[in-house]
Amino acid sequence: LTGTLGAGRFEFRNEITGLEASTIEAYGSVPVIVGFAPLAVELPDSQPVSGGVKIDSAIQNLWRYLALDTQEMAGKLYVDAQLAGTLSNPEIVGGAKITDGRYENIEFGTLLRQLELEATIQNSNTVLLKVDAVDGKGGTLRTAGVIGFQDLVNPLLDLNVQLSNLAVLDQDQVSVQTDGNVNLKGTPAGLNVGGSITTQEVNLNIGSAVAPSVVNLDVTEKNRPGSTVASADNVASKNK
C-alpha cells in the first residue's frame, strides 16, 4: 500500500502480488482534513471522491484462503468497479464476472460445471445478478434477479432460481435429480421462499446394508415338530 497525504486529500494505491495467476489492485482519492491541536481527522462528505478495484484471478488461488474444506471452486474471476461522487452520495459503477467456473460440494456430491456468473452494479446500490451452470448428468441451473444494497448489512433479495433435472445430491448411497422454480424475496433476516420443486429421480443404494453373498450351511434336524420319528420296531420290520 502506498499513499500520499496533501492538499486536503489522501490518495492511495494498493496492489497485491505473490498470488500465482492473480492481479488485484485497489486505488482511490478521498478528502481528508487533519488537525493537530488537538489531533483530529475529518472526512468531508460533500467533497468529491474517486477510486476503484480491479481483480483478474484464477478463483482457486483465492478460494483456498476461505478454508472451505468440503467445497471446491475453480474458474476465472474478473472484477472492475469504480467509485465517484461524494461520501454522502457515492456513485458506483462496474461489476464482476465468473467464467468457465466449476463448483463442487464434496459432502453432498453436488457438481456444477460451465458456471457463468455476471453481476452488474446499477444505480450505485443495486446489483443485477445472472447465473447459469450445468451438472454432470444433463441438468441445468439458472438464477436471475436483483440484490439491493440500500442497507449493506441486510441486503434486499429478489431472485428466481430454476432447476431442470439438476443433480442436487449425488452420493454413493443416494442421488436426487429435481426440477424447480423457486423465488427468493426479502432480506436474509426475513427471507420469503416460494415456488415449486418436483423430484424427477431418486436412487438409493442399499448394497452396503445387506450381506454381499448367501452362505450355504449344512443343517441337521433334531426333534423338529411334525416330523416322523423312526422307532426301533419300524426299522426292524423294514429290514425283514
CA-CA distances (angstroms) from residue 30 to 49, 83, 90? 5, 11, 12
How far is CA 150 from its chain centroid? 24
* Average pLDDT rounded to a whole number, residues 224-239: 55
Residue 21: name the closest of 55, 67, 70 by CA.
55
Phi, psi angle pair for 143, to nearest 5° = -130, 135
The yes-or-no verdict on residue 235 having pLDDT over 50 is: no
Strands, DSSP E only, in 45-109? 50-58, 71-85, 90-105
**Bigger pLDDT: 17 or 184?**
184
Query: Confidence class of residue 151 from pLDDT cuts 50, 70 and 90?
Result: confident
How far is CA 18 from its chain centroid? 26
Query: Which amino acid is residue 137, in one-letter code?
Result: K
- Respond yes or no on whether the N-terminal peptide bond of residue 38 is cis (omega within 30° of 0): yes
The yes-or-no verdict on residue 146 having pLDDT over 60 is: yes
CA torsion 165-171-175-180 (nearest 10°) is: -40
The yes-or-no verdict on residue 193 having pLDDT over 70 is: yes
Neighbours of 103 (CB within 10 A): 19
Query: Cell match 453432498: residue?
Result: 108
User: Do 139 and 165 contact (CB within 8 A), yes or no?
Assistant: yes
